[in-house]
């Protein structure tokens, strides 16, 4: 059975996901939809059976789409998902779910009503090192963890405004929040301190550029996540977990296990990217209805969004936020 795909968004990640699904057997890109028809045409021209659109309803009316990829910036979520849910079209959506929690809550309720298949682009979950860390942590007492995303300020204008990106913690460091939830369990309480150190040097920016967030986990463990986008280089991102057995250092390259006697490295598989793995899992689920390989659903990602938005609220109010269960 051939799976027909609609790509929504025309930026760097729309291109990435389009190129990945195009390599898959019996998968055909039928439509590319952006705000600008010209940009949609630039992507669609690489795929012989794809047509360009600048209106989602038109694409959905004209093409028989079996599954969609939503690759738009955080501010642009809401209507797109609602249209897909209404028509019962399974979707893969790039993180984060939105700049807020209200829109994802509305969408989640509709997804649950329809029992719609979804997948979210939290790709750290598909790394070999992450899988190995989960396995090793089963036999440990987890004391604490330190997560970090230390880098530069992306050039795109939507990233630099709270209204359009949600800020660094919601837009980018959300990967680390999700990793924490995936390997260490659920979060009970959030406390954040953010600051703007670069302003007023760059007036077109209103996101905080340094921040520290403390998470009290349901297990009793304590996690701090630090982020900055003030650096001149993309320095590092990852999560270090401290246990009664030693230290696990997890990042996009792999996992390092440090204990009393030795240091062991578990490298990630460089032959298949986590982006390919997440798409293989999603397309397999669309084709067979077996969703067991999907590691991040919309419902699960909603909980990551809840933590990230609570961090924004905590920083604004100057107090801890207890999460509703
Ligand atoms: N998983 C990852 O590692 C990863 C990495 C990079 C980006 N992303 C995510 O992918 C998403 C897109 O990022 P990007 O780098 O492609 O951004 P980008 O700025 O390159 O492109 C965004 C595109 O979305 C289009 N767009 C905006 N509103 C739209 C709408 N209502 N309908 C259709 N198209 C619309 C814009 O015209 C633009 O072409 C972001 O949420 C980002 O966080 C994920």
Q: Please state, in angstroms and as integers, the Cα–Cα distance from residue 29 to each residue in 14, 50, 134, 309, following that order.
A: 12, 5, 35, 34
Residue having the nearest C-alpha atom to atom 17 of ligand 1: 11
The shares of helix, strand and coil residues in the chain, as percent rounded to the nearest 5, are 40, 25, 35
CATH of the domain at 92: 3.40.50.720
Question: What average pLDDT does the structure give for the chain?
Answer: 97
Q: Would you state the pLDDT for residue 200?
A: 64
Is residue 201's pLDDT more than 70? no
Same domain, residue pair 141 and 265: yes
Which tokens sit at 38? 């010209």
Tell me the pLDDT band of 204, cut-offs 50, 70 and 90: confident
Closest CA to 256 of 271, 245, 267: 267
Same domain, residue pair 89 and 167: no
The rounded Å distance from CA 72 to ligand 1 centre is 3
Is residue 316's pLDDT more than 90? yes
Any idea of the CA torsion for 9, 12, 15, 21, to the nearest 10 degrees?
-100
Residue having the nearest C-alpha atom to atom 20 of ligand 1: 11
Q: Which atom of ligand 1 is nearest to the CA of 75?
A: 28
Q: What is the mean pLDDT of residues 48-57?
A: 98
Contact call for residues 309 and 170 (beta carbons, < 8 A): yes
Residue having the nearest C-alpha atom to atom 38 of ligand 1: 11
Same domain, residue pair 189 and 311: yes
Contact call for residues 248 and 190 (beta carbons, < 8 A): no
Q: Percent of the chain scored above 70 by pLDDT?
A: 99
Same domain, residue pair 194 and 63: no
Q: Is the C-beta atom of 134 inside 6 A of ligand 1?
A: no
User: Which of 6, 7, 8, 9, when mutated, tests ligand 1's pocket best, judged by the most ligand atoms within 8 Å of its CB?
Assistant: 9
Q: Is the C-beta atom of 14 inside 6 A of ligand 1?
A: yes
Is residue 270's pLDDT more than 90? no
The rounded Å distance from CA 94 to ligand 1 centre is 8
Q: Please state, in angstroms and as integers, the Cα–Cα distance from residue 289 to each residue in 18, 93, 115, 293, following that order.
A: 22, 18, 12, 11
Same domain, residue pair 290 and 248: no
DSSP 122-165: -GGGGSHHHHHHHHHHTTS-EEEEEEEEE----S-GGGG-HHHH
Q: Would you state the pLDDT for residue 26?
A: 97
The rounded Å distance from CA 157 to ligand 1 centre is 12
Same domain, residue pair 100 and 232: no
* Number of separate domains in the chain: 2
Q: Please state, in angstroms and as integers, the Cα–Cα distance from residue 17 to each residue in 76, 250, 260, 325, following that order.
A: 18, 25, 42, 34
Q: Is the C-beta atom of 151 inside 6 A of ligand 1?
A: no
Q: Which atom of ligand 1 is nearest to the CA of 79?
A: 31
Contact call for residues 249 and 258 (beta carbons, < 8 A): yes
Q: Which atom of ligand 1 is nearest to the CA of 8?
A: 33
Q: What is the pLDDT of residues 165-179, one digit of tens each?
A: 999 999 999 999 999
Same domain, residue pair 112 and 180: no
Same domain, residue pair 130 and 264: yes
Pairing outcome for strands 118-120 and 91-93? parallel
Q: Would you state the pLDDT for residue 50?
A: 98
- CA 39 to the chain's CA centroid: 24
Q: Percent of the chain scored above 90 by pLDDT?
A: 95
Max Cα-Cα span within the chain: 63
R_g (Cα) of the chain, nearest Å: 20
Q: Is the C-beta atom of 68 inside 6 A of ligand 1?
A: no
Contact call for residues 51 and 40 (beta carbons, < 8 A): no
Same domain, residue pair 13 and 156: no
Same domain, residue pair 259 and 171: yes
Tell me the pLDDT band of 199, cut-offs 50, 70 and 90: low
Q: Would you state the pLDDT for residue 198?
A: 87
Containing domain of residue 255, as a range? 126-269+305-322
Same domain, residue pair 289 and 309: no
Is residue 269's pLDDT more than 70? yes
The rounded Å distance from CA 89 to ligand 1 centre is 20
CATH of the domain at 183: 3.30.360.10
Q: What is the mean pLDDT of residues 301-306?
A: 98
Contact call for residues 72 and 80 (beta carbons, < 8 A): yes
Q: Provide the 8-state DSSP code for 183.
A: H
**Distance (Å, rounded) from C-alpha 31 to C-alpha 7?**
6
Same domain, residue pair 167 and 151: yes
- Element at 225 (helix H, strand E): strand 222-228
The rounded Å distance from CA 69 to ligand 1 centre is 11
């Amino acid at each position: 059975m051939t799976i027909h795909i609609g790509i929504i968004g025309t930026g760097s990640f729309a291109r990435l996901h389009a190129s990945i699904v195009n390599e898959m057997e019996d998968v055909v890109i039928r439509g590319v939809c952006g705000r600008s028809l010209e940009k949609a045409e630039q992507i669609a021209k690489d795929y012989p059976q794809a047509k360009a659109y600048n209106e989602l309803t038109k694409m959905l009316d004209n093409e028989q789409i079996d599954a969609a990829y939503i690759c738009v910036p955080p501010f642009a979520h809401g209507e797109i998902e609602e249209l897909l849910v209404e028509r019962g079209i399974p979707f893969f959506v790039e993180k984060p779910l939105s700049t807020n929690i209200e829109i994802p809550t509305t969408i989640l309720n509709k997804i649950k009503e329809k029992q719609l298949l979804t997948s979210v682009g939290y790709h750290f979950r598909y790394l070999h090192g992450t899988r190995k860390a989960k396995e090793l942590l089963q036999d440990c007492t987890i004391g604490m963890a330190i997560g970090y995303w230390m880098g530069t300020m992306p050039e795109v204008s939507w990233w630099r405004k709270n209204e359009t990106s949600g800020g660094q913690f919601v837009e980018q460091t959300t990967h680390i929040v999700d990793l924490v939830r995936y390997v260490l369990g659920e979060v009970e309480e959030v406390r954040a301190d953010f600051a703007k150190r670069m302003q007023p040097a760059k007036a077109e920016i209103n996101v905080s550029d340094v921040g520290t967030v403390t998470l009290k986990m349901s297990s009793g463990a304590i996690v701090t996540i630090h982020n900055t986008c003030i650096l001149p280089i993309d320095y590092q991102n990852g999560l270090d977990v401290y246990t009664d057995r030693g230290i696990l250092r997890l990042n996009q390259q792999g996992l390092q296990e440090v204990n009393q006697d030795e240091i062991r490295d578990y490298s990630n598989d460089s032959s298949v990217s986590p982006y390919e793995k997440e798409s293989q899992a999603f397309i397999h689920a669309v084709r067979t209805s077996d969703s067991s390989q999907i590691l991040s659903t919309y419902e699960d990602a909603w909980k990551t969004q809840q933590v990230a938005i609570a961090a924004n609220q905590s920083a604004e109010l100057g107090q801890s936020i207890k999460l509703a269960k």
